[in-house]
Amino acid sequence: MKKSELKDPFEDARKATGLGEMNDQNDPVKMVLGLKDVRKCAHNWKTFQSGATPGRIVVPSEVNIRTTRQIPFEVDPPEHKAYRALVDTWFKRPLEEEYTKKLTAQIDAIVEDVLTKDTVEVVEQFSLRLQSRALTLLLNTPYEEANTWIGWGTHVFRSEGEALDGDKANLLYDYIDEQITEAIKNPGADLYSVLLQSEKDGKKLTREEVKGVMILTFAGGRDTVINTVTNAIAYFAEHPESLKQLKAQPETITKAVEELIRYFSPLTQMGRVVTEDTQVCEHAVKADTRISLCWASANRDEKTFENPNEIVLDRKVNPHVAFGFGTHNCLGATHARQIMRILLATLSEKVDTISILDYKENIEDLDQFKRKVGFDSLTVKFNAKH
Ligand code: EMZ
């Protein structure tokens, strides 16, 4: 088996009943596995709500480690729309020329740096750095701020496994509180300040609302981006021909990014709370229980994807749901896609081959299913083009 392979643990259950089951901290979750069903449930926000107790739609549940509602993620329509409208333009900035230039310079520097090293532990020394530095652009905060976030290590507010750590999560919440206080004192052109100036229904956002957007921005795009970048490095290590293909045909990079993201599906699932007794996949579900939309399973659905377990870099039809689906589709997707496009372009320009020297897999324990989402560590040697 290739080290970069991510197996689909959901196949049998998806084919048999379309459902999985997991007991998450005594608040069980019925996992919806097929692509069509996942889309149907995501669409039906009245019956399957996001605006429940803060943290409850996240799997594993975060109700014990956070009280702040993440915005717009944990708000339902119609309110959701007003919040989303406040942040949408800001989160599309990654498409601007100036932003793209800066992101390209960051990624270029990081790739140049690892090319000088004998060995590189990708998670800490490449992906975490890349993600943190890129986040300074998304927040429009000083570049040096990234050092603080890198210092927290990869697992500061980790969301996978059962290792939810309230103390560690507080590090992030306290940091965000301080930053908001600072932005109130000295408003600037950063996301905190912009949010503090924003109005919804004629009223300025509250401190708690601003905090809700900021926590989401930090947490939602951390593990996900780190895993995607690390998985991409492992993939290219084992498929040097793919890097060459991208170099020869840079116009295929956009498709390649979508395909890698489909295959990696860095966010396995997202929950919803059921608001009335109903059915999913012909199974009764009761009001006030949870379901989850299992993006990772939906993205391997054989009814939609031909050879779902293969990475086909120029896959023609690719309606993946790795960034979610419907109202709540990922706010950070533009930023994530830009990171990946620039990363692929840069690697294909500068890197000849990558050798894997050592690795430790990161396996999510979902009761009935064990899913590899990436690596806890991945040590490689990057070899430059001559
Ligand atoms: C939440 C979630 C958002 C959650 C789109 O996903 O990401 C998880 O990693 C966080 O732990 O709080 O932000």
- Return the structure tokens found at 122: 């990708």
Which of 24, 84, 159 has most ligand 1 atoms within 8 Å of its beta carbon, as the pocket-test mutant?
A: 159
CB 319 within 8 A of CB 305: no
Please check the confidence at residue 156 and state whether its pLDDT lies above 70. Answer: no
CB 71 within 8 A of CB 198: no
Over range 109-117, report the average pLDDT. Answer: 98
- At residue 163, the pLDDT reads 57
CA dihedral 183→184→185→187, nearest 10 degrees, is 50
- At residue 218, the pLDDT reads 95
- Please report the atom of ligand 1 found closest to the CA of residue 215: 13
- Cα 373 to ligand 1 centroid, rounded to whole Å: 15
Does the domain at 11-143+219-384 match CATH 1.10.630.10? Answer given as yes
Please check the confidence at residue 164 and state whether its pLDDT lies above 80. Answer: no
- At residue 166, the pLDDT reads 74
In the chain, % of residues over pLDDT 70: 97
- At residue 168, the pLDDT reads 76
296 burial type by CB count under 10 A (0-12 exposed, 13-18 middle, 19+ buried): buried
Does residue 219 line the site of ligand 1, with CB under 6 A? yes
List pLDDT tens digits, range 19-50. 999 999 999 999 999 999 999 999 999 999 99
- At residue 167, the pLDDT reads 74
Which of 58, 69, 362 has most ligand 1 atoms within 8 Å of its beta carbon, as the pocket-test mutant?
A: 58
Q: How many angstroms separate the CA atoms of 333 and 93, rounded?
A: 11
CB 175 within 8 A of CB 148: yes
Burial state string for 314-331 with b = 16 or more CB within 10 A and e = fewer than 16: ebeebebbbbbbbbbebb
- At residue 1, the pLDDT reads 84
| Residue 245 DSSP code | H
Q: Whose CA is nearest to atom 5 of ligand 1?
A: 220
- Cα 162 to ligand 1 centroid, rounded to whole Å: 14
Number of H helices, E strands in the chain: 15, 12
The reported pTM is 0.97
List pLDDT tens digits, range 297-356. 999 999 999 999 999 999 999 999 999 999 999 999 999 999 999 999 999 999 999 999
Residue 61 φ/ψ, nearest 5 degrees: -55, 140
Give the torsion sign (CA, 240, 242, 243, 244): positive
